[in-house]
Every structure is written in structure tokens, then in C-alpha cells.
Structure 1
Amino acid sequence: MKKFYLVFLVLGVFAGFLSSCDDDDKYIPELPAVTIESESGGFSMLPTESIVLKAKVSHLRNSDLAWFVNGEKVGSDSVYTFKAERLGNYNIAILASNTDGEACASATIEVHGTYKYGTFIISEGSSSPGTIVFISPKGEVIDNAYYVENGGDLGGVSQDLFIKNNKMYIVSQNGGYDGGFLTVLNAETLKRERKFQEELSGKVSMPTHVVVLGEDDIYLRDNNGVKRFQPSTGEVTLIQGTNGARKNAMAVADGKVFATVNKTVVVIEAGKDEVSGTIEFDANVSGVIKAFDGNLWVSDASGCITKVDAKTNTKLGSSRVSDEAKSVLSASFAAAPSITAKGDTLYMSGLTSKIYRHVFGSDKTDLMVNAKDLVENVGIVYNTCAVHPVTGEVYFNSIKGYGVNYKVNNISVFNFNGDEPKLSANYENYTAFPAGTFFTYNFE
């Protein structure tokens, strides 16, 4: 009996050992998994704001957390509120660890200046300096923003702006004052970096439009044509083939400049003193703008809108607006293009109070609104409408009239997403003969 008892005891111990080994084999490590979420949904902010960040962690109960900003530990809770006063990009990381291992997630927060994102409306002024109005994405308005940031005035008859490499270039037809013919600002703070008055005096004749390929490769349209300005040497060169360039906005696509001359769009390549190509149309060109895919939209006075390949200068297709809308594509004295686009949907108003929408792919044109039906004191439409490239809302500038009546004016914002047009915002009495509406997002 003792022998049998020993055998059973040994077998029991062996079975227990096997059971213990089996349990060890079934153990599965619980590594943490972590992601970073923004309470607001965004990772971009002004220096006066803050962003609440949350660590979303699996097995949080058994995990230790550590927050890092640019490699420096700043917290150990599941929630961290990020603040920063200096502009720039900040790397945010969260490290989650437990007895089985660790996991990490990271994100980038952009702390940007007041003017990095939003909408600008430039005004020519009336026997006075030009002005610039800024509307933030939240609808907050800063009137005469250049003066606010610099304590001086832009040049007389400010007409156009362009943003490149975080610099804003503003051209003023008459120059003078604090800004000159060309003013270069920090695009986030609007602080002036340089102005060009004496350097351009006698070399340009009432410049109206500007585009930039590089800091030493600036193109100005004036009474003689399109001129290349090189700040490093002060040299100004008339681009051969641009004589008679229309007083209208130029476009940049595929690293080239596109300007309008009568029935053509001329192509200017960096560093060259003559046009490198010409694209012909059936009638006077009334607008050339960059398309969403990097190509070009071109409108002409015949009522035709054409898609152009910016690399090859070939026409990719054309679409004709309705007979009713045809007149708003005429080559008028407006300084802004006759067309504005979001995707393949284009809007146009010309110098009328009527805003039309044309869908390129379906050749469909619709009258969206007569601004006079929703906005008071729309007497004169000053330059053309402009569609916001993100929200799709259409901005429309108008004044009550000439004389002292120009002081009664509207920046009207229309939303066409519903069955009926909606006036989503109306900013009264901020402009003085508005030359154009510019969205920072179009320069990204």
C-alpha cells in the first residue's frame, strides 16, 4: 500500500507541475496602446489660446503616463493642457508604460500668428493710403490691420497681395506713405520686413499686381507690362511679350507665372526675360486662376471657361456658361479675376449684384442670388466675388455709391449650401473702394 501511495503522490506532483506550466504558457502580456486626442479636434492655435490633450490608453489602470513637449517631461496625468507663447511647431509625445512594456504616440501642434489663417480685403483708399481688413476664421474683424501692427500706412491705392514662404507682398499703385510701391510683411504677424519705394521709383509705372516665385524673383504688372524685380540688385526688367498686360491678377502654377494679354495667357518662367509660351483664346481673357489640382482655370469674354494644363500649356477642356451669365465674364476694369473656384465649381459676378455658379463638369449654370435682395445699400459692386476655398462661402464687396457714399459699404458672405441663399455674415463700413478678397488658404 505504501508503494501505491508513493506512486500516486509522485503522479499528483507531476500533474500539478504540468498544470502550472500550462498556466504559464497561457499568460498573454498586456502591452499598452496609446493615442493623443485634442478636445477641440484641432492641433493649431494662437499664442493666446490653449489646447486640451487627452491620452487614450488601453489598460490605463495598470499604466504609468508621461507627457513630453519637445523632449522635456511636462506631466503624468491622462489630460494635459498645452500652452505656448512663442510661434512655431511643437512636438507633443505621450509615453504609456506597464510591467509588460511601453508604447508612445506623438503629435505636432502649430502655434501661429494672428494672420496666418483667414481672409484679407484690400482697399484702394480715397485720396488716402490703402488699407487692409482681416477676418479671422471665427469671424472676428481687425480693421486697418497694417496700421494696427506697424503704426503707419500702406502705399496709395493698394491693389493686390501675394503670400510666399511666410511673407506677404502688397503692391500699391501710387506708392508713398509707410509702405511704398511694394511692401513685404511677415505673413503671420503683419509686421513690415521691407518696403520698396526709392528702389522702384522711375522703374515702375503705377504697379497694380504682384506674384512671387522667390525672394529675388518678384513680378509686378504695371502700365508697360509685367516686370521682374530683383531686390538683391535693384534691377527691374520688362518681360518681353507682356506689353499691354491686362490690369488683372496674375496666377502662379507649376513654378511659373501666367498673365493675361488681350486674347492670350502668357507664360513666364523663373529667371527669363521673355515669355516662354502663349496660350490663345477666342476672346479677351477675363481671368486666370490656379485650379485645385495645380492647373489653371481661364475665363474669356465669349462666356467660355477653359481648364489648362500648367505643365504643358495645353487645353484640357472647355465649358460655356449660360447666355444669361455670359456678360459677367467680360474683360472689365475689375482688378480681380472674373472667376473664382472651389474644386470644379466656379462662381462669377462681374460688376453686377448677381452671383452665378457654374459646375464645370456638367456645364450647368445657376443664378444663386441677387445681393440686393439680401443686403442693404448695394449700389455699386466693387470688384468681383470670391469663394472661400475651405468653407465654400462666397464673399462679395459693395459700396452704396461714389462721393461720400463709398463710406457706406458691405463685405457680404453668402452660403449656398441650402435650397435658398443665406447671408451668413455681413460686415458693414470697413472698406474704401475694395480691390479684392484674398484667402490665406489659396497660398498654401
Structure 2
Amino acid sequence: MKKNIIYFLSCLVLAVGLVSCSDDDEPLPLLSVLIEGGETQEVVQGGTLSLKAEVEGSTEVEYVWKLNGKDVSTASTYDFTSTELGSYDVQLIVSSAGQGEASAKVTVNVYGKYKYGTFILNEGASLRGDKGGSLIFINPEGELTEMAFQKENNGAWLGSVPQDLFIANNKMYIVSQNGGNEGGFLTIVNAETLKLEVAYGDDLKGKVSWPTHVAVLGDDNIYLRDNAGIKLFHPSTGEATLIEGTKSARKNTMAVVEGKVFASQSKNLLVIEAGKEEVSATVEFDANISGVLKSSDNNIWVSVSSGKIAKVSAKDYSIIKENDLSANADATKTLSASFAAAPSITAKGDTLYMSGLATKIYRHIFSTNETKLMVDAKEMVENANIVYNTVAVDPVTEGVYLNTIKGYGDGVSTNQISIFDFSGAAPTFKATYSDCTRYPAGTFFTSNFK
């Protein structure tokens, strides 16, 4: 009997001890971690990306950040920076006594400083000592870089009197009608760094005559508009073949949609399909075409001198809708087929702007067929005597760009890039930049080439 009582008491003590241990030593939660911002992030070359951990399960943890497998930090945050383009693997490992460890990864893509932003292509001004053309770049933060091509290529000059550029396959194609210098008739640079890849000068001499505009369907399928028409240039062979049916193609911007080139020729919208050496289709309008550009829904905007704006299907070339602005005589004037190298219209979604070569900027909302005068730049911009090429709207910020100069000759040194904001009741400036253009041939937004 005494043994049984002792045994019973021993079991009771053991049970109480087990219960006590269970109450005091509940298992700690496992750690979990993620890196704020997602599994793929990007940063501009030379910029800083601050990476921060979000840890659940404990506030007392140890951190180890690894860059491409090598330890780089033991802080709770990691500032990543690189001067070299490319993709980098960043891993974070967190650990805590009794809770194990957890990890998270992020791929950081480093892109060149010119990947996102606005370019203004300049023909060049000999009175300012220019040997050829140049590029102005404005980044998303509004910082302006003059002579960007020269700065990235040891002072080299683009060809003389550049008129157009196109971005495709991470390359920028710049065409200069007079050639010469280090850029030649066609300059190809890295679209993110502006580093020169190849220039075609003597290679194209005698094959093109005053080339002015460029469109690209592939590395070996480059379309150049010149005095003869539109030519298909194959860098692999050096051949430049005139596309049949493109004689007298207008000196103006070409658009690329659905793997096809769209260009203007008097009253005709020309369609050139990849791999063909003749025009595939023609859409005729009632007057000369003054602008052709890609729409945000991958169709084609067309402006006509008679005062019409149409949206054309890029698939079957039918006219989806056409608006007639001719009742507004002043607005209609902005749609004339002038000598400008840029189209008479510019678009952000369903909203179009036009100014022609005048200081009055009109807005046309295509869906409602509403046309309105937004501003006469002369009332806000000093010395806006000449509009050099046409108005352009940023499809991201909706800023409306207008390049003006005081005059030719010495007057070119007094110039302004005006960026208008039309979101309020009255026009205001998003930004202005003075005395940096050199006869600007056009304004180009990288987002329009996506």
C-alpha cells in the first residue's frame, strides 16, 4: 500500500511538471520575411535603391544581405547601387534564436540614365559653333542634359541636320539628312546609354538622298524616307532598296504598329509590311495628310489638311472613326501639311493637341469631338516669335511641349522649351528651359516607343 501511494505521488509530480513546462515553453512562431517593393525592382545606373525588410515573428533578428552570393550588409536595410547595367540578385537572410531563419530574394535591374524621359533632337546651329546635330535629354525628375550624345561619345557629333529618331530593340536610330561628322546619315546608339554602336556615312553615300525620317521593324529592316521615297536598308548587306509605290512620300514622321510601317504620301496613307518591297495597302483621304502616329490602342491617328482627324485600324486599314474640325477655321489651320518634320497632331490617349507652326495650341477630345483653344503661347512665353516644329504631348505626364525661338540667325540663341499644364482652369507651366535648343527638329518621348 505504501509503495502504491509513493508511485501515485511521483506520477502526480511528473504530470504537474509537464503541464508547467508546456505553459512556460510554448514553441516560438517561425520567422517570415519579405523585401518591400516586390521580387523585381529597378534603379537607374548610378542611382540608389533602398531595400528594406519586413519581418514577422520577431523584432530581434540578425540580418545578412547578399549580392550575387556575397555578403554585403548586416543592417536591417540595404542601399543598392551600381554603375554597371544588368540584373543583380539580392538575397536577405534573417535569423533569431529559437525561431530559425527565413529568406527573401529580389532581382534588381539596373538601367541606363536615358531609358525613360524626353529627347529633343536639334538640327544644329553653325553660328553657335555646331558641327552637326545634338540631343537634349530631360529625365522624369526634370533634369535637363544638353549635348547628351556628345557627352557620352567623347565629343562626337551627329550628322548634319538630323530630322528624326526611332527607338526599337533597345537601340536608338537617328537620321541626318546631310550626313557627315561621326554620325553619318544614320547613327545607331544604345537607347539607355547613348553609346555609339555604329554609324552609316560613306556606307549610305549614293544610296540615299537627303534622308529625313526613320522607322524600324528589326535590326536588319530599317526604313529610311529620302528624296526618292521610302527605302528599306539592310545593314547586313548594305543594300538600300526603294519600296515600290512610295515615290514622293511626305517628309514627315512614320509610325510602326502591328509590325507594319505607316507613312503619308499626299492624300494617301501608305502601309508597308515586313519583308515586302512594295506598298501593301493605301488608304486615300480627301486632302493632304499632315500627320501619322501610333495611337495608345495600337491603331493609327491620321490628320488631314481639310480639317479632319481619323483613327484607322492597323489590322484591316478601315477608318474606325473620323472627326471633322473644319467648322473651326483657326483650328483647321493647325492641321495643314506644312514643312515641319514632325506631325501636325500629338496624342495622349483619346486627347490630341495641335498647333501647326503657330503659337496657338488647340486640344481635341476625339471621343466627344470637342475642340478648344488652350493657350496662345505668345501671351506666356517671351520672344516666342517662331514655333520650331510642332507641339508634342508627353503620354505619361500630359505635359505639352512647345519649342520656340526669337528668330533665325542670332535669334536662335534666344529660345525656350515650354512645358504647359492644361489640367487646371487656366494654363500654367510644368517647367521651362531657356537657351538650350539649336533649331529643334522634334520632341520624342521614350514611352511612345513601348
Where 1:423 maps in the other structure, the secondary structure is strand
Matched, 1:36 2:42: no
Distance 1:96 1:181, change over 3 A: same
Aligned-residue offset at 1:27: 5.5
Where 1:442 maps in the other structure, the secondary structure is helix
Gaps of 5+ in 2: none
Distance 1:155 1:64, change over 3 A: same
Contact 1:32 1:63 in 2 (8 A): no
Q: Which residue of 2 aligns with 1:136?
A: 139
| Root-mean-square deviation (Å) | 2.6
**Residue number among 66, 73, 76 corresponding to 1:75 in the alignment:** 73
Aligned-residue offset at 1:171: 0.4
Structure 1 counterpart of 2:191, which letter?
A: A
Report the count of equivalent residues. Answer: 440
Q: Which residue of 2 aligns with 1:226?
A: 230
Question: Following the alignment from structure 2 to structure 1, what is the Cα–Cα distance between the partners of residues 261 and 85?
Answer: 31
Where 1:31 maps in the other structure, the secondary structure is coil
Q: How does 1:207-226 map to 2 (within 5 A)?
A: 207-226=211-230
Structure 1 counterpart of 2:251, which letter?
A: K
Matched, 1:411 2:410: no
Aligned-residue offset at 1:94: 2.1
Question: Following the alignment from structure 2 to structure 1, what is the Cα–Cα distance between the partners of residues 338 and 75?
Answer: 62
Aligned-residue offset at 1:272: 0.9
TM-score (norm 1): 0.91
Question: Following the alignment from structure 1 to structure 2, what is the Cα–Cα distance between the partners of residues 247 and 295?
Answer: 21
Question: Following the alignment from structure 1 to structure 2, what is the Cα–Cα distance between the partners of residues 188 and 53?
Answer: 24
Question: Following the alignment from structure 2 to structure 1, what is the Cα–Cα distance between the partners of residues 266 and 406?
Answer: 31
Matched, 1:293 2:297: yes
Contact 2:149 2:156 in 1 (8 A): yes
Structure 1 residues 159-207: Cα deviation after superposition (integer angstroms, max 9, x where no partner): 1111112211110011112211111112222222211111111111100
Q: Which residue of 2 aligns with 1:257?
A: 261
% identity of equivalent residues = 55
**Residue number among 198, 221, 226 corresponding to 1:194 in the alignment:** 198
Question: Following the alignment from structure 1 to structure 2, what is the Cα–Cα distance between the partners of residues 377 and 234?
Answer: 46
Aligned-residue offset at 1:46: 2.5
Q: How does 1:40-439 map to 2 (within 5 A)?
A: 43-47=42-46, 49-98=47-96, 99-126=98-125, 128-150=131-153, 151-321=155-325, 323=328, 324-439=330-445
Question: Following the alignment from structure 2 to structure 1, what is the Cα–Cα distance between the partners of residues 271 and 27?
Answer: 65
Structure 1 counterpart of 2:73, which letter?
A: G
Question: Following the alignment from structure 1 to structure 2, what is the Cα–Cα distance between the partners of residues 60 and 19?
Answer: 26
Distance 1:106 1:292, change over 3 A: farther
Aligned-residue offset at 1:16: 4.5
Contact 1:238 1:273 in 2 (8 A): yes
Matched, 1:441 2:410: no
Where 2:157 maps in the other structure, the secondary structure is coil
Structure 2 counterpart of 1:293, which letter?
A: D
Where 1:332 maps in the other structure, the secondary structure is coil
Structure 1 residues 348-407: Cα deviation after superposition (integer angstroms, max 9, x where no partner): 111110111222222222221111111100001111111112111011111112232122
Question: Following the alignment from structure 1 to structure 2, what is the Cα–Cα distance between the partners of residues 44 and 419?
Answer: 36
Aligned-residue offset at 1:284: 1.8
Distance 1:30 1:307, change over 3 A: farther
Question: Following the alignment from structure 2 to structure 1, what is the Cα–Cα distance between the partners of residues 93 and 321?
Answer: 53
Contact 1:304 1:320 in 2 (8 A): yes
Structure 2 counterpart of 1:44, which letter?
A: V
Question: Following the alignment from structure 2 to structure 1, what is the Cα–Cα distance between the partners of residues 88 and 377?
Answer: 44
Where 1:199 maps in the other structure, the secondary structure is helix
Question: Following the alignment from structure 2 to structure 1, what is the Cα–Cα distance between the partners of residues 364 and 27?
Answer: 61
Question: Following the alignment from structure 2 to structure 1, what is the Cα–Cα distance between the partners of residues 376 and 91?
Answer: 52
Structure 2 counterpart of 1:325, which letter?
A: A
The range that moved more, 62-71 or 353-362, is 62-71
Structure 1 residues 399-427: Cα deviation after superposition (integer angstroms, max 9, x where no partner): 11223212221111111122211112221
Aligned-residue offset at 1:20: 7.0
Question: Following the alignment from structure 2 to structure 1, what is the Cα–Cα distance between the partners of residues 161 and 373?
Answer: 32
Gaps of 5+ in 1: none
Question: Following the alignment from structure 1 to structure 2, what is the Cα–Cα distance between the partners of residues 80 and 403?
Answer: 53
Question: Following the alignment from structure 1 to structure 2, what is the Cα–Cα distance between the partners of residues 314 and 69?
Answer: 53
Aligned-residue offset at 1:147: 2.2
Structure 1 counterpart of 2:141, which letter?
A: K
Contact 1:374 1:423 in 2 (8 A): no
Aligned-residue offset at 1:121: 0.9
The range that moved more, 256-265 or 132-141, is 132-141
Question: Following the alignment from structure 1 to structure 2, what is the Cα–Cα distance between the partners of residues 29 and 121?
Answer: 60
Question: Following the alignment from structure 2 to structure 1, what is the Cα–Cα distance between the partners of residues 13 and 185?
Answer: 96
Aligned-residue offset at 1:248: 0.4
Structure 2 counterpart of 1:80, which letter?
A: Y
Structure 1 residues 57-78: Cα deviation after superposition (integer angstroms, max 9, x where no partner): 1134243332222233322221
Question: Following the alignment from structure 2 to structure 1, what is the Cα–Cα distance between the partners of residues 61 and 150?
Answer: 53
Structure 2 counterpart of 1:283, which letter?
A: A
